[in-house]
Amino acid sequence: MELRVLQYFLAVTREQSISGAAEALHLSQPTLSRQLKDLEDELGKQLFIRGSRRITLTEEGMILRKRAEEVLELIQKTEHEIAINNDMIAGNVYIGSGETDAVRYFAQTARALHDAYPDIHCQISSGDTTDILEDLDKGLIDFGLIFGSADTSKYEYITFPVRDTYGILMRKDSPLASKEQICPEDLWDKPLMCNRNTKDGDVLTTWLQRNLSEVNLVSTYNLLFNASLMVDEGIGYAFALDKIINVSGEGSLCFRPLNPPLHASMHLIWKKYQFLPKAAAKFLEKFQEIITK
């Protein structure tokens, strides 16, 4: 499978037509059609459903699109790192992070790093632990911020000097909003939302004293902002970390901490035995300086 053909394939998925992609690629339509047919023959799978107006992807085509985008992104990242002059300290640092107020440490690091090395740029993407570990393992990011423990057989890590506080995000007119703290039994009969990584036996369900099948779990989420909109629409109560959603002022939402208190530790992780480009190594150096101040 040639990279050039993957680029052709992605052009067709973008344009949703052979003719449009051929024009964008400056190829003849028969040439492009033959390349795509050869790709399908090589994989032994149909990748496209050719309609009268536009082309859509089969399930196998959608899988290939996702992987092709990842492959080309990784190649571009690698080419950029190699192209940088040996005497220069420049480049992009790629960081995946869960939603937390501790991202401020990244902001402080990025500011200090840019002051010292103006040609280093930090690229931060948001996601939950599942997203971050997947991107880290594929080499799409250099560092990840995760909650809870890190797999020390696979990753090096630095523990953040702060912890986040768990609580419940709810509407101000909810029955539980009058309480200063939320106890497990307060939630046993309420519609609940939690992060998609929550599972039986973890810190959250242990605190709740119930398995997920024993509560009214109405939804899961990977980004709290989306969950906050569902809370605002009255769908239920969301387990959340403090200081992510703004509940000050005259907004409709409020946050109540858990009782007994529950906290989340955070770690910056990167792959073991990984060669860090100069920009990433400088980021790590500055980050360690920032968190030890």
Over residues 198-226, the pLDDT tens digits come to 999 999 999 999 999 999 999 999 999 99
Q: What is the mean pLDDT of residues 34-54?
A: 86
Does residue 233 surpass a pLDDT of 80? yes
Mean pLDDT of 97-119: 94
pLDDT of residue 201: 94
Exposed, middle or buried by CB within 10 Å (0-12, 13-18, 19+), for 283? buried
Among 13-27, 87-101, 133-147, 267-281, the range scoring the smallest mean pLDDT is: 13-27
Mean pLDDT of 146-150: 89
List Cβ neighbours of 12 (8 Å cut-off, separation of 6 or more). Answer: 18, 21, 32, 36, 48, 55
